[in-house]
Structure 1
């Protein structure tokens, strides 16, 4: 089973505190699973934790969350080595790829060393739903603002570029995010840029934004564009559909 067309859910959320385990799948991850169209069997989710250094403790928590949700979880660890010589088969055997947060700069570098960037592009075209949070959102775009290099935000522009836009994450919870995105768009360092508050996500069908969704009642999504006449950045708030 696969999505009807290339699908990406890029978010600033997805996880919530669990009752019986430390963390559980929130509505955004559940929506990614729904988008895959799986029926009659357990969905298969490929968790990619490269941005956080493939921590075994994180893998264990994600596996527990999958067990609680009735989802088969497998981990694509690249430290100390990939799990298989055939990454196309490994990734393509899943319904959803979920990329966790951390350092997007390190993630992109390690993925390219192992050719995972090309593997993910092929999986996306084949209908595997790609999703993620924070670094796992920026990576699908041209680039965005990141703290990969230190507490002062910098802009990366070497994302996978499956989506021809910039991306801003944690837009409401980290004060420097909005002005950094605005400055990058105004300077032409980033193209038109879609941004999410914590708990919001952006659904792309192909390379077009289909809708903004949220698992928190107040979470917003935004489009930041450069005004050619003034050379300044202009922000538009997007309509957001609230997930159950």
Structure 2
């Protein structure tokens, strides 16, 4: 019995250590950054990730549109990055080791002005207030160092439910840790788990029919890129309606 308890404790410690490792910042890489929108961040939207108005979803101005190699078909939506300006690469960087942390909320498409978002370039199109922390506006395009970092969020992840009884669309946001949900499952009180498909960005669809889910509480199981699994049991109560947003766990 004692040996079994020791083995169990060791396994639990290994899980905790591994979980801590995957949530740490990753290695630095290099790319470039530009900006869009006005001085007050006008035009900042959730675009290709499906987040809509970034103020309403809590992301605000600390966001960026990513070029294709980073955006990865929407799989990077919700991921967080730390950026610094490479002072040796341009005279427009501010000194003092300034850095910003942003969330990937949009896609910078191929063919954008200057071709900075064309593959294989790794590029961040920042809201202007974020760019202005790193460099002078006149710089326009700056070289940056960047790394993936854990996302810090208040409260639990959010689930906005749209669609109809036979076609569910669920937008997931406010995800802590890795930030980028890679798989999403839905469950009613009398069903098993049904895996949803990525429709676009962080909007997930389930079109297998209601299967007892309409008029019932809904649970969600989210898996992020670091392998972490979060189950939000009965996140939406039995009287939920399409168009509503509910809070789960983080």
* TM norm structure 1: 0.25
Between Structure 1 and Structure 2, which shows a larger proportion of helix residues? Answer: 1
Between Structure 1 and Structure 2, which shows a larger proportion of strand residues? Answer: 2
* TM norm structure 2: 0.25
